[in-house]
């Protein structure tokens, strides 16, 4: 088993050492001996492990029930006379584990650097907090990236509040390296920062938005949104909207070949990160009404819309309540002013199916609503949204829902609505016949409404049935029979 120090009573042991080490000569001798002892890795490992209480029979019951207690190092750190020099000694030990991976774990699998850092957690008092923080941050700079992450993660539990300004300055510099973005922001989130320090940390995060990759953006956005206050929410939201350019995560939209190559090579990890980014935005809006209201006010401005703005509208819509009506009304207005276009819609949704996989029913509801609108431009936009949703959300259930909804529009009896719905279905049949063919059972529903269609609409219906009849196989069904049924219905009603 592991070699451990045994003591009769850890509390009495600490008191004994504290009393003995008040003498300057004794203290100096003890510190020299301790440094020599801990220079051996095996001895260091042993001193980092919890002590075992071996009480006499008459000892307190608590000692007998709980034989595991603070490590010798932890006990020594609680002695003020010993603490400063021991902290220095331990921090000096850490860099050696950056250069020799074989030392990082002992033969029982314990991570020695983490064991050292754990000794500093929740100390009752740090004798010289500023000096300790300075030493810790200096040590941080000379360690390996993995060990640096461990130190960063431990900072909130080992650094006093009075040293947070120094910590924020140091961590902000590290945050520029994407390797450390996540651990730094996690650490900052767990620090009790004054408002001015929180503003400083958030400004550093905002500065990173344009230069960070997709893997880092979700945690950056989450940190920014969770750190805002009612006083600065409008300013932060505007900066976030200005600097979070989702377009830069893809290739140049004008180069269609390059764009297709980019999306073909998109990894599952990057798609998952896009989903996490959208979830960060969505949770931020739900986290605070102030944030949601501030974004909505930003989106009401007469500024050019980007992909992020479409994502924000979807996220606001998904918060439910009165937001659905407000978002729909804003989108209709922006369609009329030309700020929301079919091209923007395509860029925002196409190739982002994983990120927006939870938005299918939202997009379908919007398409239904827009296609029923009395304004032609909004109806056409609804039709384009139907086509896009059918193409992007390619599983059978989603495509079945899209086609069923389109057929319902065809049976509405409203001329303009029927026209657009037939146009959408015709576009899908012409451009994606193989994708529509498995769902001909839903397309056949047009037959039920054919007698109420106008002549131009009947021609479109014939075109749809003829296209599907020309490509169907025996297993697909019998669209030709449905075509004859439609002809007989029209002849009998004429």
Span of 2-6, 70-74, 330-334, 470-474 with lowest mean pLDDT: 470-474
List, in sequence order, every residue forming a beta bridge with 52; answer none if it has no partner.
6, 68
Closest CA to 96 of 40, 134, 153: 40
Write the burial class of residue 19 (CB in 10 Å: 0-12 exposed, 13-18 middle, 19+ buried).
Answer: exposed
- pTM of the complete model: 0.81
Q: Is the dihedral of CA 85, 91, 96, 101 positive or negative?
A: positive
Kindly report the number of other CB atoms within 10 A of residue 224's CB atom.
26
pLDDT above 70 covers a percentage of the chain that reads: 86
- pLDDT at 486 exceeding the cut of 90: no
For the ranges 92-101, 205-214, 322-331, the one whose mean pLDDT is highest: 322-331
Token pair in block for residue 59: 């000892």
For the segment 220-276, what is each residue's pLDDT rounded down to a tens digit?
Answer: 999 999 999 999 999 999 999 999 988 776 533 344 444 444 444 456 777 888 999
CA 9/CA 321 separation, integer angstroms:
62
The pLDDT of 19-48, averaged and rounded, is 92
Where residue 320 falls (left for φ over 0; alpha for ψ -120 to 50; beta otherwise) is: left
pLDDT of residue 253: 38
Closest CA to 343 of 302, 378, 307, 372: 307
Residues 6+ apart with CB under 8 A from 62: none
For the segment 436-477, what is each residue's pLDDT rounded down to a tens digit?
Answer: 988 888 888 888 888 888 989 989 988 888 888 877 665 555
| Whole-number average pLDDT of the chain | 87
CA 12/CA 14 separation, integer angstroms:
5
The pLDDT of 422-433, averaged and rounded, is 94
pLDDT of residue 483: 64
CA 383/CA 406 separation, integer angstroms:
9
Write the burial class of residue 343 (CB in 10 Å: 0-12 exposed, 13-18 middle, 19+ buried).
Answer: exposed
State residue 69 phi and psi, 5-degree precision: -135, -175
Give the residue with greater pLDDT, 126 vs 484. Answer: 126
pLDDT of residue 259: 42
């Amino acid at each position: 088993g592991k070699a451990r120090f045994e003591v009769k009573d850890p509390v009495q042991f600490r008191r004994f050492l504290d009393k003995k080490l008040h003498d300057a000569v004794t203290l100096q001798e003890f510190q020299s001996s301790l440094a020599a002892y801990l220079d051996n890795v095996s001895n260091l490992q042993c001193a980092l492990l919890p002590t075992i209480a071996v009480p006499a029979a008459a000892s307190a019951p608590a000692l007998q029930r709980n034989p595991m207690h603070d490590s010798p190092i932890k006990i020594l750190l609680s002695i003020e006379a010993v603490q400063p020099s021991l902290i220095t000694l331990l921090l000096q030990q850490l860099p050696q584990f950056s250069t020799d991976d074989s030392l990082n774990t002992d033969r029982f699998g314990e991570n020695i650097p983490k064991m050292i850092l754990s000794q500093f957690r929740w100390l009752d008092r740090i004798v010289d907090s500023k000096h300790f923080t300075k030493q810790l941050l200096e040590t941080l700079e000379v360690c390996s990236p993995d060990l640096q992450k461990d130190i960063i993660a431990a900072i909130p539990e080992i650094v006093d509040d009075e040293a947070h300004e120094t910590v924020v300055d140091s961590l902000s510099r590290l945050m520029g390296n994407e390797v450390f973005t996540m651990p730094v922001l996690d650490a900052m989130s767990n620090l009790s920062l004054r408002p001015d320090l929180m503003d400083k940390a958030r400004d550093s995060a905002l500065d990173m938005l344009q230069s960070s990759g997709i893997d880092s953006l979700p945690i950056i956005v989450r940190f920014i949104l969770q750190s805002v206050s009612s006083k600065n929410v409008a300013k932060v939201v505007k900066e976030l909207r200005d600097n979070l350019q989702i377009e830069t995560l893809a290739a140049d939209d004008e180069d269609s070949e390059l764009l297709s190559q980019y999306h073909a090579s998109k990894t599952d990890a990057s798609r998952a990160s896009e989903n996490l980014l959208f979830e960060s935005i969505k949770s931020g809006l739900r986290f605070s009404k102030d944030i949601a209201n501030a974004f909505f006010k930003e989106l009401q401005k007469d500024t050019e819309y980007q992909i992020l703005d479409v994502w924000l509208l979807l996220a606001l819509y998904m918060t439910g309540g009165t937001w659905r009506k407000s978002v729909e009304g804003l989108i209709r207005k922006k369609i009329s002013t030309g700020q929301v276009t079919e091209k923007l819609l395509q860029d925002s949704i196409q190739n982002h199916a994983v990120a927006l996989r939870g938005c299918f029913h939202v997009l379908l509801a919007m398409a239904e609503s827009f296609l029923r609108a009395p304004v032609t431009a909004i109806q056409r936009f609804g039709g384009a949204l139907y086509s896009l949703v059918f193409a992007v959300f390619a599983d059978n259930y989603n495509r079945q829902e899209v086609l069923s909804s389109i057929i319902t529009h065809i049976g509405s009896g409203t001329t303009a609505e029927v026209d657009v719905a037939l146009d959408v279905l015709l576009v899908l049949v012409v451009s994606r016949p193989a994708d529509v063919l498995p769902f001909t059972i839903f397309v056949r529903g047009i037959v039920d409404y054919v007698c109420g269609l106008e002549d131009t609409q009947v021609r479109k219906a014939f075109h749809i049935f003829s296209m599907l009849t020309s490509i169907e196989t025996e297993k697909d069904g019998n669209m030709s029979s449905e075509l004859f049924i439609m002809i007989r219905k029209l002849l009998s009603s004429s």
